[in-house]
């Protein structure tokens, strides 16, 4: 059973700023230290930002979100007993997996698309988007991590993404990429597990790597504490429907569970009596 447990209000109340926590309450106790994150979960556009001048087709395209990633993340959270924190609006309004000073945080152009509503945004408008969406998202995540640390647990942090099969006109044969930030241990264990336990064409640090600034969330919340962390990238044509998202979750959940154990990332109490 899934529960949605927390909402945040934006400064001034202009945007309801929903940031969901979800947890499978029937899951095994032992794996509950895993925190799943989905920064590119949504292609929702809302007031006061509107649709940024994008067409319906552009708002459905992969530039606006990671299609299938939220369904996959929910399937993994349910199977692994993980908390799931996902962003409420399109990454084109503000990308929660980019630093506020990164050009991709509110991009004026994404792949081959212009984003008219981001072409000339001023300093105040940028700050407003950060305050309304980015800051509550990361405060929620930091709170979740800090609470587990305070209990003497070492939660693992895994972010769930999807990538487009065709990028700048080139077809990608990769099916499953796993990216790490400073500590490669968990990502390496996941790739090894995927090679051993699935037929997915998998690779480490593909189709991107930390050098492309894609590990912002891991850098903020896992790396400073030395927590096990990884970023999953699944080719979005493999998770286009709820049914295939469920199949992928069923495929990857045992891989993650095994890798968490292998890399010592299971949420064991750090010291006696910590529970
Ligand atoms: Zn993504």
Q: Residue 23 pairs with which residues in a beta bridge? A: 3, 83
Could you read off the pLDDT of 174-187 as tens digits, one per residue?
Answer: 999 999 999 999 99
What's the confidence (pLDDT) of residue 167?
Answer: 87
Q: How many angstroms separate the CA atoms of 239 and 222, rounded?
A: 27
> Topology of 2-262 in CATH?
Aminopeptidase (3.40.630)
How many C-beta neighbours within 10 Å does residue 85 have? 29
Between 267 and 232, name the one with better pLDDT.
Answer: 232
Ligand 1 mean position, distance from CA 59 (Å): 15
Ligand 1 mean position, distance from CA 158 (Å): 12
3 state DSSP class of 34? strand
User: Picking from 142-151, 189-198, 212-221, which range would have the lowest pLDDT averaged per residue?
Assistant: 142-151
Could you read off the pLDDT of 245-259 as tens digits, one per residue?
Answer: 999 999 999 999 999
Q: How many angstroms separate the CA atoms of 4 and 84, rounded?
A: 10
Q: Is the pTM of this model over 0.85?
A: yes
pLDDT at 95 over 80: yes
What's the confidence (pLDDT) of residue 18?
Answer: 63
pLDDT at 70 over 80: yes
Between 6 and 238, name the one with better pLDDT.
Answer: 238
Q: Does the bond joining 70 to the residue before it have cis omega, within 30 degrees of 0?
A: no
pLDDT at 213 over 50: yes
Domains of the chain, by residue range, sit at 2-262
Q: For ligand 1, a single-atom ion, which residues have Cβ within 5 Å?
A: 40, 66, 161
């Amino acid at each position: 059973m899934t529960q949605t447990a927390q909402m945040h209000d934006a400064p001034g109340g202009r945007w309801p700023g929903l940031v969901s926590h979800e947890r499978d309450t029937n899951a095994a106790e032992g794996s509950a230290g895993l925190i799943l994150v989905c920064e590119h979960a949504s292609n929702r556009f809302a007031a006061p930002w509107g649709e940024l001048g994008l067409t319906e087709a552009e708002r459905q395209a992969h530039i606006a979100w990671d299609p299938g990633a939220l369904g996959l993340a929910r399937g993994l959270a349910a199977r692994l007993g993980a908390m799931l924190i996902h962003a409420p609006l399109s990454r084109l309004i503000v990308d929660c997996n980019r630093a506020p000073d990164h050009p991709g945080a509110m991009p004026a152009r994404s792949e081959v698309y212009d984003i008219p509503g981001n072409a000339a945004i001023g300093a105040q408008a940028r700050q407003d988007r950060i305050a309304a969406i980015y800051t509550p998202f990361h405060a929620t995540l930091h709170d979740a991590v800090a609470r587990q640390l305070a209990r003497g647990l070492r939660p693992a942090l895994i972010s769930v993404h999807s990538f487009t099969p065709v990028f700048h006109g080139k077809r990608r044969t990769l099916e499953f990429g796993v990216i790490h930030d400073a500590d490669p241990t968990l990502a390496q264990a996941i790739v090894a597990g995927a090679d051993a336990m699935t037929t997915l064409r998998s690779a480490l640090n593909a189709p991107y790597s930390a050098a492309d600034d894609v590990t912002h969330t891991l850098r903020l919340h896992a790396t400073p504490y030395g927590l096990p962390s990884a970023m999953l990238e699944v080719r979005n044509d493999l998770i286009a429907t709820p049914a295939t998202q469920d199949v992928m979750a069923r495929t990857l959940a045992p891989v993650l569970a095994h890798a968490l154990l292998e890399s010592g990332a299971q949420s064991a109490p750090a010291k006696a009596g910590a529970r």
